[in-house]
Amino acid sequence: MPGVGPGYGVTMTPRPVRVLTALLIATAAATVVVEVLNFWYAPDHGTGLAVRTGWAFARTLAWLVLIFQVRRARATAKPLSLILTMTTLFAVGRLIVPATGRPPLPGLIGFGVLALLCLTVVVLLHRHPAVDAHLIHQPRRLTLTRDGLKLREAPPGDPWVLTARLASFSYSPLMLVPALTAAGTLRHQLEWTLAVLFWILAGIAVSYVALLCAFFVGRGSQTARLTLASVTLVVVAFDLPLCGILLGADGLIRDGAPLVVAAALTLYALWRTARSPALAG
């Protein structure tokens, strides 16, 4: 909320932050519009399209979380924006390209507008000094005090820790989307039923493993960094062959590529945390 004038103790929200908020709202709206257009023009409304469109809509809610974090001046807005824009472009992009034929022109135009909005959002969040000065508040966590447990703001930490955490948290949905898509094709390949079931269970289990590892990575644990890096490699080695076998080359590109990018970002962030004097050791 803008300030009401000098002497009232209310800080005026910087103009770049207000512009950024408006851009985030426009990006969330554009995401929904493009997804509706893609679904409308899609020649085949099968299980795969339904699952991927449902995930795309569910992920749209994350834009509202990002808007909230920017308005609350949370430092977590930066890594969240990076993961969100990346997964949004991949998720929407794979909906545009049909299994056969050319993508519809309205979908291509909408995707171009969405890509431009995402790029602008990332540049503002990571490069504008006024936005950088605004995003100073750290996540809150339970702290034991003399008066009991209280939610307090965590001390400033390495931003690459937040990036590694958020990137690794995306493993679970990025595994579950192709697994559920493959489940819709089992009537034609029943011999893969157990593999798909294990795929779904692994997608659920990896969320807990990533959460536990990410917690200790923030505490500077070398073991946690190595464990999360190992989990990342196992997830990629497990997910990509199943995408290729059960969903074909199309599924490998649509569903495997986002996971590879998230894994690469996690590994790079872990490498950066290992080089941080505050967290190394």
pLDDT for the residue 7:
39
- The answer for 101, left when phi > 0, alpha when psi is -120 to 50, beta otherwise, is left
Q: Percentage of residues in the chain with pLDDT exceeding 90?
A: 23
pLDDT for the residue 227:
94
Tally the residues of the chain: 281
Q: For residues 258 and 170, what is the distance between their CA atoms, to the nearest angstrom?
A: 10
Residue 73: helix, strand or coil by DSSP? coil
Query: Model confidence over 189-219: pLDDT tens digits?
Result: 788 889 999 999 999 999 999 989 988 887 7
Sign for the CA dihedral angle at 121, 126, 131, 135 comes to positive
Q: Is residue 80 very low, low, confident or very high in pLDDT (cuts 50, 70, 90)?
A: confident
Cβ neighbour number for residue 260 with a 10 Å cutoff: 15
Sign for the CA dihedral angle at 136, 137, 139, 141 comes to positive
Q: Between these two residues, 214 and 4, which has the higher pLDDT value?
A: 214
pLDDT for the residue 145:
53
279 token code pair: 């967290």
Query: Model confidence over 257-280: pLDDT tens digits?
Result: 889 988 998 999 999 887 765 554
Query: Model confidence over 19-73: pLDDT tens digits?
Result: 999 999 999 888 888 877 777 766 666 666 677 777 777 777 888 889 988 988 8
Q: Delimit the domains of the chain by residue range.
A: 1-155, 157-281
Extract long-range pairs of 270-278: CB within 8 Å, 24+ residues apart: 270/160, 270/164, 270/217, 270/225, 270/228, 270/229, 272/158, 272/160, 273/158, 273/160, 273/161, 273/164, 273/217, 273/225, 274/222, 274/225, 276/158, 276/160, 278/157, 278/158, 278/220
What is the Cα gyration radius of the chain? 21
